[in-house]
Structure 1
Amino acid sequence: MIREFSQADIFFIVSAIRWTLLLSLIAFVGGAIGGMLIALARTSRNVVLNRFARAFIEVFQGTPLLMQLFLVYFGLAVVGLPINPLLAAAVALTLHASAYLGEIWRGAIEAVPQGQSEAATALSLSYPDRMRHVILPQAMRVATAPTVGFLVQLIKGTSLASIIGFTELTRAGQIVNNATFQPFLVFGTVAALYFILCWPLSLLARHMEARMRRAITR
C-alpha cells in the first residue's frame, strides 16, 4: 500500500547516514593501512613486492567497484563462507581504497626530490628511518589534498553497498521509495544529504591543492 512521504521517512533516511559514515571510516582506515603498504611496495627495490603491488593496483583499479562487491559477497558464499553485507562491503571498499590510496601515495613518495633520500643515506640513516623521518613527512604534505579528494569518492562509493542489501543512505532511500513511490522527494533528500557530507570535503581538498600550488611557486 502506497503512503505519503512523511517526517518519519526523513528521519529514517537521515539516521542511515551513520552507517554510510561507519562504512566510509572502516574503508578509509583499512585502505590507509593497505595503501601505505602498497605504496611502500611500489617504491621498493624488491622486484617481487613491486610486481605484486603493481598487479594489485591494476586489478582493483581496472575492475568496477560493483563487481568487487559482488565477488566478495557472493563469492565467499559460494565457497561456503557466508558473510554479512556490512563486512562484505567493508572488505571490498578497503581493498578498493588500498589500491587507489597506494597509487596516490606512491606518486607522492616519488615526488620527493631524490636528493632528500641521498642526503639521508649519506647520514647513514637506515631505510625505515629514511622513510619515517625524511621521505614520508614530505610525501604526506603532497598527498593530503588528493587523499581528501579520494575520501569524497569513497563516501559516494558506499552507495553501491545497497546492491548487496546493506542499509546505508542509498538503501534507506530505496526502502522509503518502495513504500511511498515518490522518487523525486525521496532521492532528492538522499542526494541533498550526500551533498552535505561531501561538499565540505571537496572544498577542503580544493583549498589544500591551492595552498600547495602557492607553496610550490614561492
Structure 2
Amino acid sequence: MSVFSDWDILRNLLLAARWTVVLSLIAFAGGATVGLLLTMMQVSGRTLLVRFTRLYIELFQGTPLLMQLFLVFFGLSLMGLEVSAWFAAALALTLFSSAYLTEIWRGCIESIPRGQWEASRCLGLSYFEIMRHIILPQALKVAIAPTVGFSVQIVKGTALASIIGFVELTKAGTMLNNATFEPFKVFGMVALLYFLLCYPLSVASRKLERKLNVAR
C-alpha cells in the first residue's frame, strides 16, 4: 500500500478535475453546435428533416451513455479507425448532449404562441427572418435556465468516460483508491469535488429561471 497524505490525494484529484472540466466544456460546446442545427431541422416543417431528427433523438436518448461510449471507442477501432479515449469520450458526450439540447430548445421554440408565427407571415417575413427577429429572441430567454441546468448532467456524465480509460476525476479516484485502500476518504473527496462543480450551475439555473420569469 502506497503512503499518500490527504493533500497528495486532493492534489491528484484536483489535477484530474481539470480534465473533467475540459471534457465537459468540449461536450457542451459540441452538443450545442449540433443541437442548434438539429433544432432548426426539427422545426423547419420538412418531413425528411423532421424524421431524421426524431430518429437521432430517439437513438441517443433511448440508449445508455455507457453503451454509446463503448460503441464509439471500440466500434471505430473495429472499423480500422484507431481513436484515443479523449476523442471517443468527447464524441460520445457531444452526440449524447446534442440529443437532449435539441429537445430542450425545440420545446422552448414551440412554447412561443402560434399567433406570433401567423402575424409574422402576414407581414411578409421569411422563415429565417421570423426565427431571427421574433421567435429566437423570445425562445432564448426560456431556454437559458434549462440549458444551464442540463450542463450539470454533462459534468456528471463525464464520470462514465473512466470506463474507456479516460483519466478524469472518477478514474483518478479509482486509481488512488487502488493505491491507498481508503475508499471512504478518496471517493468522499471525489464526491465533494463533483458537488463543487455542479452546485454553482444548479444555483445559476434557478436564479436565471426566477430572473427571466419563465414560469409566467
Map of 1:145 onto structure 2:
145
Q: Is the 8 A contact 2:170 2:190 kept in 1?
A: yes
Amino acid at match of 2:113: P
Map of 2:162 onto structure 1:
162
For the residue of structure 2 that corresponds to 1:16, the secondary structure is helix
Map of 1:183 onto structure 2:
183
Separation of aligned partners in 2, 1:202 and 1:52: 32
**RMSD value, Cα:** 1.3
Question: Is structure 2 residue 110 aligned with structure 1 residue 110?
Answer: yes
Map of 1:96 onto structure 2:
96
How far the C-alpha of 1:7 sits from its partner, in A, is 1.6
Question: Deviations along 1:96-136, whole A, 9 cap, x unmatched?
Answer: 01100000000001001112222222222211121111111
1:74-89 maps to which residues of 2 (within 5 A)?
74-89=74-89
Separation of aligned partners in 1, 2:156 and 2:183: 19
Amino acid at match of 1:18: R
**Which 5+ residue runs of structure 2 have no aligned equivalent?**
none
Question: Is structure 2 residue 50 aligned with structure 1 residue 50?
Answer: yes
Q: Is the 8 A contact 2:17 2:169 kept in 1?
A: yes
Q: TM-score, normalised by structure 2?
A: 0.96
1:3-22 maps to which residues of 2 (within 5 A)?
3-22=3-22
Q: Is the 8 A contact 1:5 1:182 kept in 2?
A: no
Amino acid at match of 1:129: E
Separation of aligned partners in 1, 2:163 and 2:5: 23
Moved more, 84-93 or 118-127: 118-127
% identity of equivalent residues: 57
Separation of aligned partners in 2, 1:208 and 1:49: 32
Separation of aligned partners in 2, 1:26 and 1:119: 39
Q: Is the 8 A contact 2:142 2:214 kept in 1?
A: no
How far the C-alpha of 1:143 sits from its partner, in A, is 1.0
Separation of aligned partners in 2, 1:92 and 1:146: 21
Runs of 4+ displaced beyond 6 Å? none
**Which 5+ residue runs of structure 1 have no aligned equivalent?**
none
Amino acid at match of 1:44: S
**How many pairs were matched up?**
216
